[in-house]
Amino acid sequence: MSIQYSNVSIHESVQHGEHVTVVMPSNVYGCTLGNHVFVGPFCEIQKNVTIGDYTRIQSHSFICELVTIGSHCFIGHGVMFINDTFSEGGPARGNKNLWKKTTIGNHVSIGSNATILPVDICDGTVIGAGAVVTKSITVPGVYAGNPAKLLRKL
């Protein structure tokens, strides 16, 4: 197994496959990174996150707990994943039972500055830059806007 990084060691709690690159500074801990994963600088990937083979995470992205990203995905710059929907009128304040999971399929591309709430996104989907995904996506296509809407099927 190999992992490339500069000026700081990756946290020992990270499980990783072959040829993983994490560009520092980044905060990556307690997660699982598949083979040939790339993580750009200034990213945070929290515990209980799984990222599939050949997926690229660009700079300034935040991937919170309970997110699973498939293989051959592209996560653009500044993409934010959310696991706390403030379901009781404010932050969960440590009550992780209120957090919800997100599952991203394979061959999904998410444009820069998109926000992904706790949803499922099916294989072969494209999310436009700046989109806010508030509902699960079950039909492959191109989605954009706030809230994200289907522009065309793929």
- CA quadruple 18, 129, 49, 72: dihedral, nearest 10: -30
Q: Strand pairing partners for 153?
A: 141
Q: Which residues are catalytic?
A: 60
As given in the structure block, the two tokens for residue 62 are: 């935040």
Nearest to 147 by CA among 127, 129, 132, 130: 132
Q: Indicate the burial class of 108 (C-beta count within 10 angstroms; 0-12, 13-18, 19 or more).
A: buried
- The residues, ordered by sequence, that sit 6+ positions from 89 with a Cβ below 8 Å of its Cβ are none
Q: Please, are residues 16 and 4 in contact by the beta-carbon 8 Å criterion?
A: no
Closest by CA to 63, choosing from 79, 39, 87, 40, is 79
